[in-house]
Structure 1
């Protein structure tokens, strides 16, 4: 009976973590991938402003989705701690701390998108600005948004290192997922460094796929938690 209860508890904790993870993944894909693809102008200020104006509702929805994504990411490491914490306490605390450190950066970064909406609004004090000046300010805010995401990416990578190690050591989930998570964490950090240190890196084909291991590891872990669940911790 004790064994059955431990299996049920582990599975319940896994399903909760998987559901939060899925919310984080879906809102992240929408806010960080789909919306920018529809509202961006490929560096053209005029086209960018036109696209945002034409898809203002989508732009606003992206901000809301981003906020939900960061809120889910605030809860996710706590849910994973309940599941994996018995494997190694220090690594589990590091996982939680590194993941949560990215959340304030994410919310501050979202503020730049709110500033874009302000610039494109009809406030009387904006009337003295010419169209070119508004477009320049919009691009500056979007660049600041991108820079904030780049900083957050450091923590998106670092938290995966203890997370993946816990998966590998605890064997509550397939070890392959743990290796992908660790590799994904390293790829996030390497991509951050390359974008700052390697001229022209962002324009290379490799840059588009640099964080693929992280996507495979995180989406795979999310689906495994949600569909299959997890085994009890070895130390239980």
Structure 2
């Protein structure tokens, strides 16, 4: 596929899959069963909602796969505009997808301990510990989820394919993505409202990118098949 607009819309669909499957896994599947500070309730919830918890694990696997495919699609779309930035984006997305899958070991471990007969005597505390470790790993993974937006924002800022304002929004989103894990671990007693407010630019930036890819694709000005586009030597 060499049509930039079709590639952009494919990237938008993959981005939507990342948001949809990831949101289901984190906010619903794990959010339904995880009771912070209450090991017995958490373990009981996993046992009672085993199918939902398994679906959450599967959704995160699909999300990580979609994220990697998103990186490959954006690399194809952006490498003619700035090859180094496109390569950096792909590397960071691959690292992020790897981190997501590795962190799922804690989700799978909590499932095994809560529902597996071989682990019947392991105790509820271990279940809660594993889910807490997954939560912390999820927050730390925000570093890679934020950093891939930096080369994306840079290309959006420099390339005529996207509006400059979108590039600015993405760079701001990078800052807030990186700020969140710092606040979470350096100031654990910080009110949740503060972290919610910090995440607003992240949501605005990523939602803007998602909608732009889905609705507009890329700008019509200067759009031509990618196999006919020559890469500027300054971007190599």
Whether TM-score is above 0.5 comes out as yes
The separation in 2 between residues aligned to 1:204 and 1:120, in whole angstroms, is: 29
**For residue 143 of structure 2, what is the aligned residue in structure 1?**
154
Aligned to 1:200, the other structure's residue is in SS state: coil
The separation in 2 between residues aligned to 1:50 and 1:212, in whole angstroms, is: 34
Aligned with residue 155 of structure 2, among 163, 166, 173: 166
**Number of residues paired by the alignment?**
223
Aligned with residue 229 of structure 1, among 211, 217, 223: 217
**For residue 5 of structure 1, what is the aligned residue in structure 2?**
none
- The answer on whether the counterparts of 1:20 and 1:76 sit within 8 Å (CA) in structure 2 is yes
Gap runs ≥5 in structure 2:
231-236
Q: Which deviates more from structure 2 when the two are superposed, residues 134-143 or residues 39-48?
A: 39-48
The separation in 2 between residues aligned to 1:191 and 1:114, in whole angstroms, is: 25
Q: Which whole-Å deviations, capped at 9, do the CAs of 1:203-231 have from their partners, x for residues lacking one?
A: 33111232222222222212221222112
Aligned to 1:86, the other structure's residue is in SS state: coil
Aligned with residue 144 of structure 1, among 123, 126, 133: 133
Aligned to 1:69, the other structure's residue is in SS state: helix
Q: Which deviates more from structure 2 when the two are superposed, residues 70-79 or residues 41-50?
A: 41-50
TM-score in terms of structure 2 length: 0.87
Is 1:47 paired with 2:41? yes
Q: Which whole-Å deviations, capped at 9, do the CAs of 1:120-148 have from their partners, x for residues lacking one?
A: 2242x434x2xxx5210001111221122
Aligned to 1:191, the other structure's residue is in SS state: helix
Aligned to 1:144, the other structure's residue is in SS state: helix
The separation in 1 between residues aligned to 2:137 and 2:215, in whole angstroms, is: 34
- The answer on whether the counterparts of 1:170 and 1:233 sit within 8 Å (CA) in structure 2 is no
Gap runs ≥5 in structure 1:
1-7
**For residue 81 of structure 1, what is the aligned residue in structure 2?**
75
RMSD: 1.9
The separation in 2 between residues aligned to 1:25 and 1:61, in whole angstroms, is: 16
- The answer on whether the counterparts of 2:44 and 2:114 sit within 8 Å (CA) in structure 1 is no
